[in-house]
Chain A
Amino acid sequence: MTTTVHRQAPPAGREPRPARGRSGLFHFIPERVRRAGLPYLLLLPALFFELIVHVIPMVLGVVMSFKELTQVYIRHWWGAPWSGTGNYRVAVRFNAPIGRALLDSFLITCAFTVLAVGLCWLLGTTAAILMQDRFRGRGVLRAVFLTPYALPLYASVIVWAFMFQHDNGLVNHVLHDQLGVTGDRPFWLIGDNSFWSLLVVSVWRNWPFAFLCVMAGLQNIPRELYEASAIDGAGIWQQIRRITLPSLRSVNQVLVLVLFLWTFNDFATPFVLFGRSAPAAGDLISVHIYSASFVTWNFGTGSAMSVLMLLFLSLVTAGYLLTTNRTRKNRA
């Protein structure tokens, strides 16, 4: 951000300055302020919309989290009684049912996110590296790999839901009827297995994005590096470890962060797969908050939980950017 601003600031004294004392609408403002102020003035509309679209709803959400907001008050929600930190205390009292359920959901979401992001990255990077060299049919394969990402979310997830059905689903047909891997037909949409079915669907949906990003990153690595290293006797693994991965560093930094935020916040996938009341093992935090607020009409508690989630995500993001940037600087 900062670098772009510096770059775009016009170097002083390049343009001929208008003569001092010329009459103008804003002549009473000192020249220096006028020059420095223009960029900020140009930013105003963007700032205005940023306020309306992002900041104000967020602030309202924070305000709501301190109110006892149920259906009784939604007509005049600003008149709802203040509950102080009551909503937060309910949300973090982990030995009571509501706090306990939130904590469980949070832990499930963390485990799910780590696995899903890891697998997405691994699959995406592997596929991108394998398809780095030209071969016949590469374009077709690329297109095929990208389809899950291009399909409408609802349609693709509902197809997965059908495939995971206990009695008639494709998954059980293959695992149980054809291969005989499982003794009984397992349930995938209820009970503990729902974690794994959610993971499969999420990775299936998101890995093409990792593939796409890494593929773009690979285009920027000069071929000569590989040729030179091959002459020096480097094998495939060494090339990947010493050339490919270090060159992908900045791409990966953004990719992992974005994947993390998307996966952690994912609402649509679990909601379509499990409906509004998800089994405990697939109870991701966004759906959990949705049912804690919208479905049970307790918007104050829901807001408090959302604020806690926002804080957590901001902390993780800030920590991540700090550490990755520091290591990058150290290396440079």
Chain B
Amino acid sequence: MSVRARTAIGAVIGATLLAVLPGCGGGTSTGDSGGNSHPKTLTYWASNQGASLEDDKAKLTPELQAFEKQTGITVKLEVVPWSDLLNRILGATSSGQGPDVLNIGNTWSASLQTTGALLPFDDQTFAKIGGKGRFQESALASTGASGKTPTAVPLYSLAYGLYYNKKMFADAGISKPPATWDELVQDGRRLTTGGRYGLAVEGANVSENVHHAFVFAKQHGADFFDASGNPTFTSPGAVEGVKQYVDFIARDKIAAAGNAEYDQNQSIQDFATGKAAMLLWQAAGPNLQKHGMKPDQYGVAPVPVQSGTPGPGQNIDSMVAGINMAVFKNSQNLDGALKFVQFMTSDAEQKKLNGAYGSIPPVKTAAQDPAFSNPELTVLRNTIATSAAPLPQVPKESQFEELVGGAIKDLLADAAAGRPVTTQSVQQRLAKAQQQM
């Protein structure tokens, strides 16, 4: 064999070996059980709560530095946009290579709980971060399926409120915000004139649709899942509830037909620019101000109910929205991770972070702070405390959101195109969604 050929073979074998070796090395860190072999560092995936990823980094970094000063643990921060977060979590779950601590949308709690990748917060673990009793009950209810050990703790809480344009209300001679849906539709009709509308809805946003449908169904005494976790999308109450929401465009015509295609927060913009007089949103304040609306130009009231005043049971008027914090079970710094969760849920940090993001602390003592007593946050805080319920905490929650939210999007599109929306058509569309489960 010529020298050239031998060199070539050597090169081939070398390259192949080089390629194989890292492949072998990669497998070592994917353990199933966690431990404390890396006590000095943590990786933290934060969800995007601020105006931008940079904004989040600017807000969180000083707190992480304070944590490092306290404990000597360096926290590597990555802010993950919402569009990527769930995919990244699923990727981390299947590969075993993920962060130590992460934020999750609280509606994913039960789904992620079933993966078995997150550390269960039993009473003993809760004791390490200051005890279960510090948290708001409604927020705790959205940390996992009921009856199972939660796999997350509440970090930021949010609820829906009814935002209304004070000047448009005064001009139309309406003295107070509507307390029931009948009043809202009446007021809406009076406000819908000259190219302006009573209400703005984010009709093509699947998640927004589901959040509203959930509340409307509850108010009609219905749930989208029965006690054993089976879908009941076509119960009369659920159909009534969905229809009532779609009717804002279909029958009442208090929302513009064009709202049916909104999915980039155009409804906030419409409200801020006076194109619509009312908006159902969670903590819209910072966003409205970004669009140039001043805090004294809008009022915030509880979301209407069918009759009476907001409360438990059929007078629920919001889902428990919010962000939970979870720990990956196979973290190599479990003690540090729990210390970090304790730090982030401490009174001082809760006040600072929720204050910065415009959300409500799920920690009771922190929520008492006067910083959360402006008119907007008082309404939202009361809602969380008295009349909010968590979305169904079932493993199939994300299918539910996708299918029911998508069905409502289609129904709104029908309504916007002038096709009739009847109890029957709503029921058929929901039945189709249920079959796809």
> Are these two chains actual partners, yes or no?
yes
A297 within 8 Å of B by Cβ?
Answer: yes
| B397 → chain A closest CB, angstroms | 10
* A166 engages B16 (CB within 8 Å): no
CA distance A101 to B406 in the complex (A): 13
Interface set, chain A 9-60, CB cutoff 8 A to B: 18, 24-27, 34, 38, 41-42, 44-45, 48-49, 52
A97 CA / B435 CA spacing, docked (Å) = 6
Which of these binds chain B: A70-78, A105-113, A140-148? Answer: A70-78
The docked-state distance in angstroms from the alpha carbon of A297 to that of B96 is: 17
Partner of A277, one of B2, B90, B406, B416: B406
B402 touches A166 (CB 8 A): no
Q: Is B432 within 8 A of A97, CB to CB?
A: yes
Q: Which residues of A contact B398 (CB under 8 A)?
A: 295-297
For A69, the closest partner residue in chain B by CB is B94
Determine if B432 and A71 form an interchain contact, defined as CB atoms under 8 angstroms apart. no
Residue interface bits A291-328, CB-to-B below 8 A is 1, else 0:
10011111000000000000000000000000000000
Report B-chain residues with C-beta under 8 Å of the C-beta of A294.
87, 90
Across-interface contacts of B263 in A (CB, < 8 A): 275
Decide: A190 and B416 in contact? CB cutoff 8 A. Answer: yes
Contact B19 A25 (CB under 8 A): no
| Interface hit among B55-63, B108-116, B332-340, B361-369 | B108-116
A277 to B16, CA, bound (A): 44
In this assembly, does A189 line the interface, its C-beta being within 8 Å of a C-beta of chain B?
yes
Given the known inter-chain contacts A25-B1, A71-B114, A277-B409, please indicate yes or no for A295 contacting B402, CB distance below 8 A: yes
Chain A residues, CB < 8 A from B19: 45, 48-49, 52
Which residue of chain A has the shortest Cβ distance to B397 in the bound complex? Answer: A297
CB of B204 within 8 A of CB of A297, answer no
CB distance from A22 to the nearest CB of B (A): 9
Among listed B34-42, B138-146, B252-260, interface-contacting one: B252-260
Q: Would B395 and A72 count as touching, CB distance under 8 A?
A: yes
Tell me the residues in window 87-120 of chain B with beta carbons closer than 8 Å to chain A beta carbons: 87, 90, 93-94, 96, 111-112, 114-117
Interface string of B215-241 (1 = CB under 8 A from A): 000000000000000000000000000
- A81 interfacial by beta-carbon distance below 8 Å: no
A243 located at the interface, meaning its Cβ lies under 8 Å from any Cβ of chain B in the complex: no
Complex interface bits, A260-302 against B, C-beta within 8 A gives 1, otherwise 0: 0000000000000001110110000000000100111110000
- Closest residue of A by beta carbon distance from B407: A277
Q: Which of A34, A74, A166, A276 contacts B261 (CB 8 A)?
A: A166
Question: For A276, what are the chain B residues with a Cβ–Cβ distance below 8 Å?
Answer: 206, 402
- Chain B interface mostly: helix
Q: Is there a chain B Cβ closer than 8 Å to A191's Cβ?
A: yes
Query: Which residues in window 155-204 of A have CB below 8 A to B?
Result: 165-167, 185, 187, 189-191
B contact residues around A34 at 8 Å (CB): 1, 5
Q: Across the two chains, which residue of chain A brings its CB closest to B275?
A: A167
- B356 CB–A CB distance under 8 Å: no
Please determine whether B257 and A166 come into contact, CB atoms closer than 8 angstroms: yes
Contact status A74-B399, CB under 8 Å: no
Q: How far is the CB of A81 from chain B (nearest CB, A)?
A: 15
Enumerate chain B residues within 8 angstroms of A41, measured Cβ to Cβ.
8-9, 12
A276 to chain B, nearest CB (A): 7
Q: Which of B1-35 contact A (CB under 8 A)?
A: 1-2, 5-6, 8-9, 12, 15-16, 19-20, 23
Q: Does A228 contact B (CB under 8 A)?
A: no
Residue pair B402, A277 in contact (C-beta under 8 Å): yes
In the assembled complex, the Cα of A37 lies from the Cα of B93 at a distance in Å of 43
Residues 76-120 of A, flagged 1 when their CB comes within 8 A of B and 0 if not, give: 010000000000000000001110010000000000000000000
Q: Is the CB of B12 within 8 A of A74?
A: no
Interfacial chain B residues near A74, Cβ < 8 Å: 90, 93-94, 115
Tell me how many residues of A have a C-beta within 8 Å of chain B.
42
When the two chains form their complex, are residues B96 and A75 in contact, meaning their CB atoms are under 8 A apart?
yes
Contact of A45 among B12, B395, B413 (CB under 8 A): B12
Q: Which of B8, B20, B399 makes the CB contact (< 8 A) with A38?
A: B8
Q: With an 8 A cutoff between CB atoms, is B405 at the interface?
A: yes
Assess whether B204 is in contact with A42, with CB atoms less than 8 Å apart. no
Chain A residue nearest to B83 in the complex (CB) = A276
Q: Closest chain A residue to B23 by CB distance?
A: A52
Interface residues as binary, B56-79 with A (CB distance below 8 Å gives 1, 0 otherwise): 000000000000000000000000
Pairwise interchain contact A71-B115, C-beta atoms closer than 8 A: yes
Question: By the criterion CB–CB under 8 Å, are A190 and B395 in contact?
Answer: no
In the assembled complex, the CB of A128 is this many whole angstroms from the nearest CB of chain B, namely 37
A133 to B114, CA, bound (A): 66
CB atoms of B15 and A45 under 8 A apart: yes
Q: How far is the CA of A49 from the CA of B20 in the complex (A)?
A: 10
Give chain B nearest CB distance to A249 CB in angstroms.
Answer: 40
Given contacts A41-B12, A74-B115, A295-B402, contact A26 B1 (CB under 8 A): yes
In this assembly, does B208 line the interface, its C-beta being within 8 Å of a C-beta of chain A?
A: no
Contact between B12 and A296 (Cβ–Cβ < 8 Å)? Answer: no
Interface pair B115/A166, CB less than 8 Å apart: no
**Bound: A167/B195 CA distance, A:** 11
CA distance A165 to B257 in the complex (A): 12
**Cβ–Cβ < 8 Å partners of A72 in chain B:** 114-116, 395
Q: Point out the residues of chain A lying under 8 angstroms from B12, CB to CB.
A: 41-42, 44-45
Known: A71-B112, A71-B114, A97-B432. A296 touches B261 (CB 8 A): no
Structural contact, A297 and B111, CB atoms closer than 8 A: yes
Q: Is B174 an interface residue (CB 8 A)?
A: no
Q: Decide: A190 near B409, CB < 8 A? Known: A71-B114, A72-B395.
A: yes
Q: How far is the CB of A232 from chain B (nearest CB, A)?
A: 56
* Closest 7 pairs (CB-CB, A-B): A190-B413, A166-B258, A167-B258, A97-B435, A277-B406, A296-B399, A74-B94
Residues of B whose CB lies within 8 Å of any CB of A are 1-2, 5-6, 8-9, 12, 15-16, 19-20, 23, 87, 90, 93-94, 96, 111-112, 114-117, 204, 206, 256-258, 260-261, 263, 395, 398-399, 402-403, 405-406, 409-410, 413-414, 416-417, 432, 435-436
Cross-chain pairs A/B with CB under 8 angstroms, 8 sampled: A18-B1, A34-B5, A42-B12, A44-B12, A97-B436, A166-B260, A187-B416, A275-B263
Additional pairs, 11, CB under 8 Å, beyond known A74-B90, A165-B258, A276-B206:
A41-B9, A44-B16, A48-B19, A52-B19, A52-B23, A71-B111, A75-B94, A190-B260, A191-B414, A277-B402, A294-B90
Contacts from A to B (Cβ < 8 Å): 18, 24-27, 34, 38, 41-42, 44-45, 48-49, 52, 71-72, 74-75, 77, 96-98, 101, 165-167, 185, 187, 189-191, 275-277, 279-280, 291, 294-298
